[in-house]
Amino acid sequence: MSSQASYDVVIAGAGPAGAWALKHLPEGMSILLVDAADPLRSFRDNKLCGGMLTAQAQALLPELPLEIRAEPFKTKMEYHDVDTGVYTRFPVDYANCRRNLLDEWLLRQALEAKGGDVEYSPDTRVSGLQADEEGVLVRLDEKREVKARRFFDCTGWRQFARRALGASLTPYFHALQAECSLAQPCPHYIAVFSSKWSPFFGWYIPKNESTGEIGAAFESERRDAPDMLLEPLVRHLRRRDLKLQPGRIRGCRLTRLRKASHIWLGRGAVMACGEAAGLVSPSSGDGISYALASGKAAAQTACLPVETAVAAYRRTLKPQISELGRNIVKAWLLSDRRARRIASALLPFVHRERFERLSL
């Protein structure tokens, strides 16, 4: 199978990591961006993602257009700990967005910024990868091969480059999410902890006055029917007077970072960005901020020698990697009901007059 074209950079995945890598690549580089689907067709199903933007993600983005914002855009978080009986409400720095529209917006910005330097190939899957001292040979859809000086893996939980190069994979949860209709508005985010049915937590996120999203993450070995797995969360929310009716349940993997060695940033001319690198908060599930930061950081190394690029990439991401180290500890504490009980006792002192204790 002969190669048909050569590029300076091939990017696999056009989500936030891939779009932000594309946008920040130096001018004049020839770029091929491929995606197994097409984020520009945002009318399709929402991605399985709550669409919550942390303060870090918001700082990395321009101001969001109104059509991308979900309502309420900013609100409070309700913390429900079924194990300890602690129910509270307090402010959080999250912004609420429509994730499919966010991805489309980010990609359009990047494509417009790069103009004729980029070839965008949607509905194209990377099926093979071979790296050597001269660059990377990339196979597309088992039909053609292209050469590249650099390859950015932005394939998310699929972790394509790690599989192709024999690197160990980051473990994962199995996440489920369903859009639900509401009989009456519920304007707050809700996080529900119950060790009886989830090692992570369940969530409810409003999207407007009549719809919201519910979801939870489970051990990867669980094989129960999706509706049975989400049923305890639905029952709990209904007992809290949230009159909801779940729709179709969808599932995918959610990277489960348990130790720092699960982060893999790449090798030689191959770099992993976002969830493909394991850059997902194990305490909140946030991956968007790390996708944006790592996509931009990878792009800034594109002109460096191959032998120094990954080390420079890691140095640039040092703040994010350090934060993830702290979140690994936080996730461990959140998984322990005794630790959560102690932490909940401190919440009134952290949030002070903005803190509310809710009745059971």
- Residue 218's contacts (CB-CB under 8 Å, 6 or more residues apart) are 173, 174, 175, 176, 198, 199, 200, 229
Spatial separation of the C-alpha atoms in residues 207 and 69, rounded to whole Å: 9
Structure tokens at 216: 């939870």
Backbone angles phi, psi at 218, to 5 degrees: -135, 160
Taking alpha carbons only, the member of 257, 302, 243 closest to residue 21 is 302
Spatial separation of the C-alpha atoms in residues 29 and 137, rounded to whole Å: 17
- The answer to the question of residue 309 being in a domain is yes
User: pLDDT value at position 352?
Assistant: 61
15 and 128, same structural domain? yes
Burial of 112 (0-12, 13-18, 19+ CB in 10 A): exposed
Roughly how many angstroms between the first and final C-alpha of the chain, as a whole number?
65
Spatial separation of the C-alpha atoms in residues 280 and 287, rounded to whole Å: 5
* Contact by Cβ (8 Å): 32, 10: yes
Q: List the beta bridge partners of residue 8.
A: none
How many domains are contained in the chain? 2
Residue for token pair 């996708």: 291
209 and 126, same structural domain? no
Spatial separation of the C-alpha atoms in residues 211 and 245, rounded to whole Å: 9
Q: Where are the beta strands (DSSP E) in 83-133?
A: 86-91, 95-96, 118-121, 126-132
Burial of 23 (0-12, 13-18, 19+ CB in 10 A): buried
Residues of the chain with pLDDT below 70 are: 1-3, 42-46, 347-355, 360
93 and 73, same structural domain? yes
- The answer to the question of residue 311 being in a domain is yes
Across 127-152, b (16+ Cβ under 10 Å) vs e yields eebebeeebbbbbbeeeebbebbbbb
297 and 186, same structural domain? no
271 and 124, same structural domain? yes
150 and 163, same structural domain? yes
- The answer to the question of residue 16 being in a domain is yes
* Contact by Cβ (8 Å): 327, 281: yes
Q: What is the pTM of this model?
A: 0.94
Summary count for the chain: helices (H), strands (E): 9, 18
Cα–Cα distance list, 5 to 35, 119, 144, 269 (Å): 18, 11, 9, 18
CATH of the domain at 231: 3.30.9.10
Cα 79 from chain centroid (whole Å): 21
202 and 227, same structural domain? yes
Spatial separation of the C-alpha atoms in residues 116 and 60, rounded to whole Å: 25
Burial of 355 (0-12, 13-18, 19+ CB in 10 A): middle
User: pLDDT value at position 68?
Assistant: 95
Q: List the beta bridge partners of residue 78.
A: 89, 190
- The answer to the question of residue 334 being in a domain is no
How many C-alpha atoms does 219 have within 13 Å on its Cβ side? 10
- What is the full DSSP assignment across 89-103? EEE---EEB-HHHHH
229 and 353, same structural domain? yes
Cα–Cα distance list, 250 to 100, 183, 213, 233, 246 (Å): 15, 22, 11, 15, 11
Single-letter amino acid, residue 219: E
67 and 186, same structural domain? yes
197 and 283, same structural domain? no
pLDDT digits (tens, 9 = 90+) for 12-68: 999 999 999 999 999 999 999 999 999 998 655 667 889 999 999 999 999 999 999
Give the structural domain span for 213: 52-99+171-257+339-357
User: pLDDT value at position 179?
Assistant: 95
299 and 265, same structural domain? yes
User: pLDDT value at position 1?
Assistant: 44
Backbone angles phi, psi at 92, to 5 degrees: -135, 160
CATH of the domain at 38: 3.50.50.60
